[in-house]
């Protein structure tokens, strides 16, 4: 039986491969345009919408320290990074 690190590394590799395949398939669907597409077991819906975001670089450039303090959120993150030897 593989040790926990090698097990995690193998799962991580498989996930990354599958995510790359999913990105390619999604890009192909997006190229087909907005709409609903049906397979034999699943359907996919291509949507288009605008997302509004705030540019953090401009906030830092034009905002004062108090504004930056008021709009900044700090979250503690625990992460595991897996890399092959």
Please report, in tens digits, the pLDDT of each residue of the chain (85 residues total).
Answer: 689 999 999 999 999 999 999 999 999 999 999 999 999 999 999 999 999 988 888 888 888 888 888 888 899 988 888 888 8
Contact 66/54 with Cβ under 8 angstroms? no
Transcribe 43-85 into DSSP letters. EEEE---------HHHHHHHS-HHHHHHH--------------
pTM for this prediction = 0.72
Q: Can you give the pLDDT at residue 70?
A: 87
Q: Can you give the pLDDT at residue 6?
A: 95
From the list 76, 57, 78, the residue with the least C-alpha distance to 68 is 57
Give me 21's structure tokens: 């395949």
Q: How many residues make up the chain in this entry?
A: 85
């Amino acid at each position: 039986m593989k040790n926990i690190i090698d097990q995690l590394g193998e799962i991580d590799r498989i996930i990354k491969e599958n995510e790359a395949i999913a990105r390619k398939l999604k890009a192909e669907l997006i190229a087909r345009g907005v709409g609903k597409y049906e397979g034999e077991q699943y359907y996919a819906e291509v949507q288009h919408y605008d997302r509004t975001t705030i540019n953090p670089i401009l906030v830092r450039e034009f905002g004062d320290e108090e504004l930056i303090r008021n709009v900044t959120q700090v979250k503690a993150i625990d992460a595991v990074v897996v890399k092959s030897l």
